[in-house]
Amino acid sequence: MNKTHMTLGEYIIDNQNHFKYSSGELSRLINSIRLAAKVVNHEIRKAGLVDITGASGDINVQGETQQKLDVLANDLFKQTLINREIVCGIGSEEEDDFIVVEGKNKANDNKYVLLMDPLDGSSNIDVNVSVGTIFSIYRRVSPEGTRVTKEDFLQKGSEQVAAGYVAYGTSTILVFTTGNGVNGFTLNPAIGTFYLSHPNIQIPKKGSIYSINEGNYVHFPQGVKEYLKFCQEEKENRPYTSRYIGSLVSDFHRNMIKGGIYMYPTSTIGPKGKLRLLYECNPMAFIAEQAGGKATDGYRRILDLEPTELHQRVPFFCGSTDMVEKAEEFMAKHPEDANY
Ligand code: P6P
């Protein structure tokens, strides 16, 4: 039930009994994400004034240069989750392996694991371009009271109980689903409260925006090249336009509101694509489907993919159903590209 000017806290209380396995823990988990998002937002808004922009000097497990804010956001979300003893384990883009949350053994009784990209698109921070946080929540599969295991994290995206993102843009918006539709909450920075601003978001079935790094064009699979040419040569009143911010959360959020497709396909320079299945593609796919959109690897539903590794990468086609299905039509003509 959505009332006007409802706060995130009121929404969680009003909808708690809709959360799968509602026992209050999921509500507390979302509340802890809310707190961490406000703190990260505060740090991002002053980047450039204090020494938290630029590279940290470290390289993460992805082989990517860690930005100072990457490390800060990772530490903030981790600490908030650990302090509240809500999850029994955490997976993060910035951590080589998953983190076991033990505490006074109480944590091992916790039912959930969380996977996150604490600050996606962080290389954009130094040039004042929007960045985001992405999170994915599962119920553990290992017995409660025991130490969390890798299997708790390597679950299909269809098993997620909640997923969301925070877009630190012209305003800061927290968008999430618990399997009953998608709602967006915008932060009022003056009082530090998230208000329901985008109830029941539905991705327009048709769209006219395609979002892809066309700098990689010569390296794309043939089906992607053919789809891009279709968009660029479409005869009826040239409906398509290209928008690529270089920040998944921003490109995705724009498509959620206006319609569009985001693509990060395989290429000869990235044979499995770039985006990570567990904490980028799965949460965004869950949200997209809950908003009436579609998400595939060009051939298969993202949420059906069986994970094998914590940081595995998969190709990603996500957004307005009609656009994703049109792209899949071109991909289907090249089945040789289905095995990456
Ligand atoms: P490229 C950011 O690093 C990210 O994971 C996404 O947020 C973004 O869409 C993509 O990579 C940009 O990658 O190769 O186009 O610079």
Report pLDDT digits (tens) over 161-195. Answer: 999 999 999 999 999 999 999 999 999 999 999 99
Ligand 1: residue whose CA is nearest its atom 2:
121
- What is the best residue among 127, 247, 253 to mutate for testing ligand 1's pocket, by most ligand atoms within 8 Å of CB? 247
225 with 188, same domain: the answer is no
CA distance 246 to 249: 9
Q: Is residue 315 domain-resident?
A: yes
At residue 24, the pLDDT reads: 80
> Which atom of ligand 1 is nearest the CA belonging to 244?
9
The overall average pLDDT reported for the chain is 91
Residue 1 in this model has a pLDDT that exceeds 60:
no
Q: Which domain holds residue 316?
A: 209-338
Do 161 and 283 share a structural domain? no
Q: Is the domain of 57 the same as that of 111?
A: yes
Closest residue to atom 16 of ligand 1, CA basis: 246
CA distance 330 to 300: 14
Q: In total, how many domains does the chain have?
A: 2
Q: What is the pLDDT of residues 12-22, one digit of tens each?
A: 888 887 776 66
Q: Which helix (H) or strand (E) holds 274?
A: none
252-285: buried (b, 16+ CB within 10 Å) or exposed (e) per residue?
bbbbbeebbbbbbbbbeebeebbbbbbbbbbbbb
Q: Give the end of a domain, one of 198, 222, 249.
A: 198
> What distance in angstroms lies between residue 247's CA and the mean position of ligand 1's atoms?
6
Asked if residue 203 is part of any domain, the answer here is no
**Closest-lying ligand 1 atom to the alpha carbon of residue 121:** 2
**237, pLDDT greater than 60:** no
The β-bridge partners of 144 are: none
Residue whose Cα lies nearest atom 12 of ligand 1: it is 246
Q: Which atom of ligand 1 is nearest to the CA of 262?
A: 9
In a shared domain, residues 277 and 175 = no
Query: 90 alpha carbon to ligand 1 midpoint, in Å?
Result: 23
| Domain CATH number, residue 120 | 3.30.540.10
Q: Ligand 1 — pocket residues by CB below 6 A? A: 120-121, 213, 246-248, 251, 274-275
Residues with Cβ < 8 Å from 140, sequence gap 6 or more? 88, 89, 110, 111, 112, 113, 148, 152
Write the pLDDT tens digit of every residue in 20-74.
666 688 888 999 999 999 999 998 888 766 666 666 767 667 666 666 888 999 9
